[in-house]
């Protein structure tokens, strides 16, 4: 049995380290956005992300990017020009999640039923 379990019995999930991690990367598109930002470093623009993901609406992508920025996983850089130019990139904190996403991908590769 683990000495320091990630989600101890009797704890509220949102009060645990595991719950925090799930809150930060949970949702349908957050991990996908992080994946594409990592694959297309150093920066991507909104429409590039939209094209890569394909199935996401403009509103959902906008909301997802705002949440990732609020959680300090991505950096949003806006240039004062017309038309507006905004670039997104992974923050240091966001880059620290990439090994976790890679492990999830590898797990899926090994365990997906074919």
* Strands of the sheet with 85-90, listed across from one edge: 44-45, 85-90, 74-79
66: number of CA atoms within 13 Å, CB side? 6
Separation CA 101–CA 110 (nearest Å): 14
Helix-then-strand count for the chain, H and E: 6, 3
Separation CA 14–CA 77 (nearest Å): 31
Separation CA 105–CA 38 (nearest Å): 14
**pLDDT by position in tens, the chain (length 114):** 446 677 677 788 778 888 889 889 999 999 999 999 999 989 999 999 999 999 999 999 999 999 999 999 999 999 999 888 999 999 999 999 999 999 999 999 999 887
- Rounded to two decimals, the pTM is 0.86
Separation CA 86–CA 75 (nearest Å): 10
């Amino acid at each position: 049995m683990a000495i320091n379990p990630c989600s101890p019995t009797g704890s509220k999930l949102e009060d645990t380290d595991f719950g925090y991690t799930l809150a930060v990367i949970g949702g349908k598109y957050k991990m996908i956005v992080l994946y594409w930002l990592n694959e297309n470093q150093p920066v991507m623009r909104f429409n590039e992300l939209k094209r890569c993901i394909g199935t996401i609406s403009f509103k959902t992508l906008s909301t997802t990017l705002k949440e990732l920025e609020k959680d300090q996983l991505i950096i949003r850089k806006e240039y004062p020009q017309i038309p507006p130019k905004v670039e997104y990139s992974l923050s240091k904190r966001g880059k620290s999640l990439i090994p976790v996403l890679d492990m999830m991908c590898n797990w899926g590769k090994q365990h997906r039923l074919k």
